[in-house]
Amino acid sequence: MTALTLQNSVPLLLLLLPLLFYTGWVTSRIQTSIKPLISLFRFLGVLSLILVILGGYLVYTQGTLETNIFTIRDLGFSVRLDALNIIIVAMINIIGLIVIRYSYSYLEGEKRHAIFIGRLAATIGSVQLFVLSGNIFMLFAAWVLTSITLHHLILFYRDRHKAQTAAFKKFVIARVGDASLLIAFILIYLQFGTGNLESIFEQLKSLPDQNNASLEIAALLMALTAVLKSAQIPFHGWLVEVMEAPTPVSALLHAGLINAGPFLMIRFSYLLDATEYASFSLFVIGALSASFGALVFVTQTSIKTALAYSSVAHMGFTTMVCGLGLYPASLLHLTAHSFYKAHAFLSSGSVIDRIRTQQGFGVTRLGKHARILIGALVAIGIFFSMAFLGGKMEQQSLQMLFVSSVILMATITVLVNAFDSNSTGIAIAGVTILSLLIIVAFNLFESLMHGAIASQIPALGDMSTLMQSASLIFLILFVAVVIFYNLTPLVRQTTLYQALGIHLRNGLYLNLLFDRMIGAMERNYKPFNRERL
């Protein structure tokens, strides 16, 4: 028997935490008092953070840690600790703790309050289990559990027709994703004869430079799984309709669960690097989703629906960056977006109140073309000044130059809106300084993230000719999206824009087409009796 040491006790304790969250979920079925549950989950959240900090220290000093609990032929229960999942587990615990605390007051007076908190806890525990998995069996089991627990959260109000529709669509998509992931894992196991992640990655590193049909299919299936999980087009509709669930569900979903797709791709980055078509597929689908989400987001009148399409765009960007092989940048954006989106949903009510009271602030001045031009020129000047001062223009890879160009366009959008408004000079100066800080922060944190997970990802290779051509096409598309976004105030009253706006507001009817394809519109939903749940 292996002696219990600090190196294997910390991973074991981290694995115990999801089990305790599940215990809290079981307790919520019989414990109607909410305060003891909240106290329990607060304690678990704090304990998780302490263990994550300790685990991070051990990973920093000793490298990747693995602990096998019960495995047969490298399949079973094992825990893996490395820099990648330490970052994600820390993020999950912080957001989970905040969402549970928010839910305490948000649903105060709700008869099934304890059940809701218990379901939240079970979902958080499932995501923790998924991220900490050390072999493909445990990873797949946790992947399915995250889907099941989310399904019960979406159907918290089972008598709502839209909640039933969203849950049904999510259920169909999730099962397709589960099947594709299972087949991918079977192919990987047959190829390498092991389910242990570290053994798989080591064999992938030493593969000869020749095409392997089995691995190509496995990588494509895994990419499909990630696309389905992260609500990429045309499978995004359920994410928009899930707003029928309470706000904490949206916060946890958008800030955590849809990140499972990009995390899966980063975790199996060595598989993507060893194959050819999966990365290109991720890049194309991600770029299309980012463009689509950004366009539709502008036309939405509901703040929560707008945030949902914003998540589609952000996940598209993250997926696209994964396809380029820039895994540190993808992880950075994933983490930053999670905290931003959790805050956005939990504060959505106060944002609406604040906008209503801010009469006239930031209203666009139509026709001030000089201000638009100044804003664009300032953004370009900031970007290139920082690039040359940092000495990175000649050092950057083509992949990073593409991502930097997308960031430049986002900066142009921010500054054009600032200059082309009735905001004060101080406010405009503040936005300009903030844009400068964002560019600096992106380059700084991307470098830090690369240093943190360098041992878990392959070295960045050269872009293929096909990828270069696709990057140029999508760069032109992103420029068109930015132009459309910034010219919207000038053409809002035109007949053409109003006609186009109707189609964009309805998401170009992609969601409707998907509903018809799976028969979601024809389903006969029956009301549920809450008392029996």
Quick one: pLDDT at residue 7? Answer: 60
Cα–chain center distance at 333: 9
Helix (H) or strand (E) holding 101: helix 83-106
φ and ψ at 49, to 5 degrees?
A: -65, -40
Quick one: pLDDT at residue 285? Answer: 92
| Burial profile 127-148: b = 16 or more Cβ within 10 angstroms, e = fewer | bbbbbbbbbbbbbbebbbbbbe
First-to-last CA distance in the chain? 44
pLDDT in tens, 56-65: 888 888 888 8
Per-residue pLDDT of the chain (533 residues; tens, 9 = 90+): 445 565 666 677 777 778 777 777 777 777 667 777 777 777 877 888 888 888 888 888 888 888 877 777 778 888 888 888 888 888 888 888 888 888 877 777 777 777 888 888 888 888 888 988 888 999 999 999 988 888 888 887 777 777 777 778 888 888 899 999 999 999 999 988 888 888 888 888 887 766 788 889 999 999 999 999 888 888 887 787 777 677 787 778 777 788 888 899 999 989 988 888 888 999 999 999 988 888 888 777 777 778 888 888 888 888 999 988 889 888 888 888 888 888 777 776 655 444 443 433 333 444 445 555 555 565 566 555 555 444 454 456 777 878 877 777 777 776 766 666 555 567 667 767 777 777 777 778 878 888 888 888 888 887 888 888 888 888 888 888 877 777 776 666 777 777 777 777 777 777 777 777 766 665 554 544 444 33
Cα separation, 333 vs 508, whole angstroms: 27
Which residues face 81 on adjacent strands? 65
CB 175 within 8 A of CB 257: no
